[in-house]
Amino acid sequence: MRKVVIPTGYMASGSSAVTALIREFDGYCGVTGSQEFVFLHCPMGLFDLEDKLLFHNNIFASDEYLQLFYERMAELDHLKCWWPGSYQHYVGPTFMEDVDDFINHLIDYKMDQFWYMSERPNKKSMMVKKYIQAFLRRLFPKWKGWKPILNREGVRFAYPSSEKFYQCARTFLFRVIDAISKDNVILDQLLLPHNLYRMERYFKPGEAKVIVVERDPRDVFIQNKYFYTKAHVEIPYPQDVKEFCKFYRQIREMEKPCDHPDVLRIHFEELIYEYEKTVKKVREFLGVSEKEHTRKKEFFKPEVSINNTQIFALNAEYQKEADYIQKHLPEYLYDYPYQRVAVEQEVFTDE
């Protein structure tokens, strides 16, 4: 069975290390590099469409939901300068065809009539209504004018059953995956820890293998505040340590529990300090033999990645904030087997 491997985490938690590691196994396609595939869980992505059509639908709302979903997929498809986008390159030229086919299979009825969401004015239509129509009414007093319709294709009605929606959604999802690769494929962030409870609706047992990576929040905070920010690639975490602890706990506690046999949870630090043991755990999870790990340490180099650990302990400037995180987020810390000693040159510098 072809496997879809999904490394994921909690922002800056080190899931790309798993992507690098699995690229070293025979038979796994990682041609997409560090690209993150967000079309399932992004705002008005597939999961939002699922919720809205199955749980928040009404007689007119489905038309708006389908339109918003289509617009978001179109942005992912053609916005080349948007880092999660450029699907024309990463997925292929058929992505929007698959989107259209998916939407068309969900639609039950199409009507030429319009409704209030189609008639809502935007700035351009207000100018038309205020000036042009006022002028035309002077010339033709009996003329009633026109409505500034935003979508002139009429209204689409979609009231799918759960069975129909998931059948159509699975077809759409696997067309996209097949367009990327028909081999075992690594799709970074296709799922997030917060929506793993949806797995069984979209994947049959064994089809997808999710590896959730977490990382010591002391390093997450220090690296983001003192290194990422200076490099202008900061992660949206608070940079006040008290607010960070509150925020971090909230995002971890809002996650719905998911005890699934196709989900493996590891620490980023385990890949470094317990390399052989953790690599074996990942291999067994994926059903990969030791002989199939033919490019060992070619992409994931623990001797280099170790410089991304215990950053909080290498500079006295960070100690007070690290101690605060240690006190307020103790259950998320990693138990290091030994303390690193600072070296002259670290991976992260001020340059």
The confidence score (pLDDT) of residue 129 equals 62
The confidence score (pLDDT) of residue 233 equals 84
Helix (H) or strand (E) holding 111: strand 109-111
Which amino acid type is present at position 197? Y
- The label of the residue with tokens 């028909």 reads 182
Neighbouring CB atoms inside 10 A of 242's CB total 12
Q: Are 217 and 308 in contact, with CB atoms under 8 Å apart?
A: no
Pairing of strands 155-157, 109-111: antiparallel
Q: How is residue 210 written in tokens?
A: 């999710």
Burial of 121 (0-12, 13-18, 19+ CB in 10 A): middle
Query: CA-to-CA distance for 343 and 225, rounded, in angstroms?
Result: 21
For 36, 216, 242, 325, the CA distances from 221, given in Å and listed in that order, are 22, 9, 11, 9
The confidence score (pLDDT) of residue 144 equals 56
Q: How is residue 53 written in tokens?
A: 């059509």
Neighbouring CB atoms inside 10 A of 129's CB total 15
- Nearest C-alpha neighbor of 328 from the set 270, 252, 225: 252
Give the three-state DSSP class for 94: coil
Which amino acid type is present at position 208? A
Q: Is the dihedral of CA 124, 126, 127, 131 positive or negative?
A: positive
Q: Are 98 and 125 in contact, with CB atoms under 8 Å apart?
A: no
SS3 of 142-193: the string is: CCCCCCCCCCCCCEEECCCCHHHHHHHHHHHHHHHHHHHCCCEEECECCCCH
DSSP 232-267: T---SS-SSHHHHHHHHHHHHHTSPP---TTEEEEE
Q: Are 186 and 7 in contact, with CB atoms under 8 Å apart?
A: yes
Residues in the chain: 351
Query: CA-to-CA distance for 228 and 27, rounded, in angstroms?
Result: 34
Neighbouring CB atoms inside 10 A of 196's CB total 22
DSSP-derived secondary structure letter, 351: -
The confidence score (pLDDT) of residue 133 equals 63
Query: CA-to-CA distance for 136 and 128, rounded, in angstroms?
Result: 11
Cα-Cα-Cα-Cα dihedral of 214, 217, 220, 226, to 10°? -170
The confidence score (pLDDT) of residue 174 equals 97
Q: How is residue 211 written in tokens?
A: 């590896």
Pairing of strands 4-9, 184-186: parallel
Q: How is residue 114 written in tokens?
A: 């319009």
The confidence score (pLDDT) of residue 347 equals 46
User: Which pTM was predicted?
Assistant: 0.88
Query: CA-to-CA distance for 350 and 55, rounded, in angstroms?
Result: 49
**Residue 24 backbone dihedrals phi, psi, to 5 degrees:** -80, -10
The confidence score (pLDDT) of residue 168 equals 98
Give the three-state DSSP class for 342: coil
Instruction: Please give the chain's pLDDT, 351 residues, in tens.
Output: 889 999 999 999 999 999 999 999 999 977 666 689 999 999 999 999 999 999 999 988 999 999 999 999 999 999 988 989 999 999 999 999 999 999 999 999 988 776 666 666 666 655 666 666 666 667 777 665 555 545 556 788 999 999 999 999 999 999 999 999 999 999 999 999 999 999 999 999 999 999 999 999 999 999 999 999 888 888 999 999 999 999 999 999 999 988 999 999 999 999 999 999 999 999 999 999 999 999 999 999 999 999 999 999 999 999 999 999 999 999 999 999 998 876 544 444 333
Give the three-state DSSP class for 28: strand
